[in-house]
Structures are given as structure tokens and as C-alpha cells.
Amino acid sequence: MIPFILIFVLLIFITLFFLNLKLYLVALTSSLLILFCLFIVLLMVIREAIRTFKGNAPYLPSPKRVINKILEEIDFKNKAVVLELGCGDARFLRAVRKKKNVIAIGYEYFIVPYITAILHNLFLKNKIKIHYQDFFKTNLAEADYIFCFLITEEMNKLEEKLKRELKSGALVISNSFTFKNWQPEKTIVINKDKKTGFNNKIYVYRQP
């Protein structure tokens, strides 16, 4: 989100700069550009709200302590393929890629976190791949590890897809939400967050 805000602030400064030089036509063009960008973002936010209303997970990043705990507990093998379904700004994938030699791939269909992820990726030494795509429209057979933080309705839909496509032995790590029929191999409980008072749980599933 922060890079997004910075781009808008930069555009506003550019407009003010042209106004100061009395280049009114250029200033008008750049302010129209700002309005156009805001309009597009607004349309995307409305689209995301409709998706949430239909039972898909809204954008809410995983807390740092959850990500750190997963990195502590899960032994990500060398050169393994790690997919994040609904990767948001891809903070989990960046953290994994920083510490482990894996192939990190994310899928995200909400433009705001997607662009944030792309901007972060520009400055990374160890790049990750991010697709602007609905993960239900991709095949998940290449995954050795899958991470997700979704909601119950979407988990139920995802369960069938994972059972069909995942290779044997692949691990699915879910922040906070469980599958309807699949029993987790392991449940990791993280102690209460001092600020929110929440106990986070991480569920780990293995494809038989």
C-alpha cells in the first residue's frame, strides 16, 4: 500500500511543480491523470468488495509473527516450489525467498496489493514471480508447498481443487482457516497477540 500512496503523492507534487512554472496545460493533464488513476483504483476496490460479498477472502495481510513462526516450523526444501494463493503484497513469499532457496510464486487478483508486490519485487535480489490471476484458474500440480490465508467459503472450494491436483506429499499451510473434510497433520498455535488479543493458529495439511 505504501508504494501506491507514494506514487500518488509524487504525481501531486509533479502537478504542483508545473502549476508553479505556470505550465497550466501540463498541470491540467497531470491532474486528469491523477483523477483517472483514482477512478481505476476505485473501480478495482468496488470489484474486490463484490468478490468478498460473494464469499472470497478480502485483503488482510498475515501478521509478521505468523510468517516468522511458519519459517521456524516448516522445513522448506532446497529448490522446492512454494505457491501462495491470494498472495496480497507477497510479504510471506518475500520472507521465504529471503531465507530459503526456493522458487516462490504468488497469485493475486486484487490490483492494489498486486502492484504493491510488483513494486517490492523490483528491489529484491532474490526475485519472486507474481501472477495477476485468479488461482482457481491455474493448475497447482507443480507445488511442493502452498500457503494461503483465505476464508471458510473459499477454503471449501479450494479443498476439492487441491485434492484433485496436488502431488502426493505436498504440504498446504493455512493461516487461521481449516478445510471442511481434510484433517490437518499439524496445528501450530501462536500465543496471544498483545495488541489484538488473538491466538493465531496455523494448520498444516499433507496431500496423501
Ligand X SMILES: C[S@@+](CC[C@H](N)C(=O)[O-])C[C@H]1O[C@@H](n2cnc3c(N)ncnc32)[C@H](O)[C@@H]1O
> CB count, 10 Å around CB of 174?
22
Please pick, from the candidates 7, 11, 61, 156, the single residue that binds ligand X as defined by CB under 6 A: 61
Residues 62-101: x where in contact with ligand X by CB under 6 A, - otherwise, as a string: x---------------------x-xxx--xx---------
Q: How many residues interact with ligand X (rule CB under 6 A)?
A: 24
Distance between start and end Cα atoms, the chain: 38
Indicate whether 109 belongs to the interface with ligand X (CB under 6 A): yes
Long-range contacts from 30-38, C-beta under 8 angstroms, 24+ separation? 34/8, 37/8, 37/11, 38/8
Residue with smaller CB distance to ligand X, 143 or 150: 150
Q: Which residue is nearest to ligand X (CB)?
A: 86
Residue with smaller CB distance to ligand X, 18 or 109: 109
Residues 124-163: x where in contact with ligand X by CB under 6 A, - otherwise, as a string: ----------xxx------------xx---x---------
Indicate whether 113 belongs to the interface with ligand X (CB under 6 A): yes
- 3-class DSSP assignment, residue 61: coil
- Cα 55–Cα 177–Cα 85 angle in degrees, nearest 5: 70
- Backbone φ and ψ of 164, nearest 5°: -75, -40
Give the start-end residues of each E strand in the chain: 81-85, 103-108, 129-132, 145-148, 171-175, 186-190, 200-206
Residue with smaller CB distance to ligand X, 107 or 182: 107
How far, in Å, CA of 153 to CA of 180, rounded? Answer: 10
DSSP secondary-structure letter at 182?
A: P
Q: How far is the CB of 193 from ligand X (least distance, A)?
A: 15
Residue with smaller CB distance to ligand X, 26 or 44: 44
Indicate whether 18 belongs to the interface with ligand X (CB under 6 A): no
Please pick, from the candidates 16, 42, 60, 141, the single residue that binds ligand X as defined by CB under 6 A: 60
